[in-house]
């Protein structure tokens, strides 16, 4: 029987952390973060990490586990997070996966082994060729072996171009075929997904804007300055996160603060829109739509009923 886990997801600023902690407390579960930036140490404000008080309420996993100078892949997340989930299950507890990084959630639930698909040497060589020859050359090479994948990619999309050619060179299978095979595999976990958002998109955007303002008041600019003082550069993956990228430009004298703040809000809204697009593909997601503000008491009741029915197989 496929083990069951609970997933609390949704776009940014919808209350995932609060509801996830409440559900973990109620069920005696433990939280596994599925946020690609909360993985990093020293990045607390801009990633909206749970506060020390929230972290103390229930056990948390996959938060603040790597230095911000380190690149962290979805393959590594799938391996390490599944280890956490399996340990929680072995102890008879409910894993509560909380986060909005759809790629990470998908990889964790699918549970596929990425190790055979990744080759650091091949990736490095391809990256160097991209830098030397340009994206058009690599796109032409990809088109020769995988025209379907090539048709979806732009020559400026270095990461995905390199990834597609890496998979082919390392395995002899195109990434199009690889993805088709992956989708056909049975998932590692039976994920009961609760998705949060707002009935009115404008209320979501208002909450996002307010949260950006709150992060700045909490000292986000100081947090970014501390990262730069640690030796991080705009090229580090962690510094590409929304908020960190724009404020790095401010501290390096490339942009005015008010312009950067406006751009952080705009990019956060765009990211939320992409998150919603990903979530809508999951027809089994159970949606909780807030009105003007989250009603966590009602959300907890709805979620508990969902758990009783779909996780514990008990009548409500």
Mean pLDDT of 222-230: 98
Mean pLDDT for 217-225 is 98
Q: How many helices (H) and strands (E) does the chain have?
A: 14, 6
The structure tokens listed for 195 are 């998705």
Categorise residue 94: left if φ over 0, alpha if ψ from -120 to 50, beta otherwise: beta
pLDDT above 80 for 112: no
Q: Which two tokens stand for residue 59?
A: 């056990």
Residues that constitute the known binding site for substrate: 12-17
Domain boundaries defined on the chain: 4-112+185-310, 115-184
Model confidence over 260-272: pLDDT tens digits? 999 999 999 999 9
Of all residues in the chain, what percent carry a pLDDT higher than 90?
Answer: 80
Confidence of residue 117 (pLDDT cuts 50, 70, 90): low
Task: For tokens 């994920």, name the residue.
Answer: 191
Class of 115-184 per CATH?
mainly alpha
CATH code for residues 4-112+185-310:
3.40.50.300
Cα radius of gyration rounded to whole Å, the chain: 20
- Pick the closest to residue 77 from 96, 94, 102, 56 (CA basis): 102
Query: Side-chain half-sphere of 262: how many Cα atoms within 13 Å?
Result: 5
Kindly provide the b/e burial profile for residues 104-117, where b requires at least 16 CB atoms within 10 angstroms of the residue's own CB: bbbbbbbbbebeeb
What are 45-65's pLDDT values in tens digits?
999 999 999 999 999 999 999
| Over residues 294-307, mean pLDDT | 95
As a whole number of angstroms, the distance between CA 56 and CA 122 comes to 43
More confident residue, 312 or 241: 241
Find the largest Cα–Cα distance for the chain. 62
Binding-site residue numbers for ATP are 10-17
Q: Would you list which residues are annotated within the binding site? A: 10-17
User: What is the Cα–Cα distance from 111 to 94, expressed in whole angstroms?
Assistant: 17
SS3 state at 117: helix
Query: In this structure, are residues 58 and 25 in contact, taking their beta carbons and an 8 Å threshold?
Result: yes
- Close Cβ partners of 242 (under 8 Å, ≥ 6 residues apart): 46, 264, 267, 268, 271
Average pLDDT, the chain: 93
């Amino acid at each position: 029987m496929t083990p069951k886990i609970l997933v609390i997801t949704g776009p940014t600023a919808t209350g995932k952390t609060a509801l996830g902690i409440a559900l973990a407390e109620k069920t005696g579960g433990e939280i596994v973060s599925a946020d690609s930036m909360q993985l990093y140490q020293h990045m607390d404000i801009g990633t909206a990490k749970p506060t020390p008080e929230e972290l103390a309420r229930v056990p948390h996993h996959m938060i603040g586990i790597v230095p911000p100078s380190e690149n962290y892949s979805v393959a590594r997340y799938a391996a390490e997070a599944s280890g956490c989930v399996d340990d929680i299950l072995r102890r008879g507890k409910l894993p509560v996966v909380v986060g909005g990084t759809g790629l990470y959630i998908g990889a964790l639930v699918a549970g596929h082994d990425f190790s055979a698909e990744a080759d650091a040497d091949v990736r490095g060589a391809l990256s160097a060729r991209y830098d030397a020859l340009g994206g058009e050359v690599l796109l032409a090479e990809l088109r020769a072996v995988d025209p379907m994948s090539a048709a979806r990619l732009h020559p400026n999309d270095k990461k995905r171009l390199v990834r597609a050619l890496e998979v082919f060179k390392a395995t002899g299978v195109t990434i199009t075929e690889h993805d088709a095979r992956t989708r056909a595999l049975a998932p590692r976990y039976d994920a009961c997904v609760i998705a949060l958002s707002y009935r009115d998109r404008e209320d979501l955007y208002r909450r996002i804007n307010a949260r950006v303002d709150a992060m700045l008041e909490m000292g986000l600019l100081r947090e970014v300055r501390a990262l730069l003082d640690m030796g991080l550069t705009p090229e580090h993956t962690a510094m590409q996160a929304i908020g960190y990228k724009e404020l790095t430009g401010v501290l390096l004298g490339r942009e005015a603060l008010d312009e950067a703040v406006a751009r952080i809000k705009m990019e956060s809204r765009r990211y939320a829109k992409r998150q919603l697009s990903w979530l809508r593909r999951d027809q089994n997601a159970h949606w909780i739509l807030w009105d003007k503000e989250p009603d966590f008491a009602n959300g907890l009741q709805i979620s508990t009923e969902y758990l009783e029915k779909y996780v514990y197989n008990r009548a409500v």
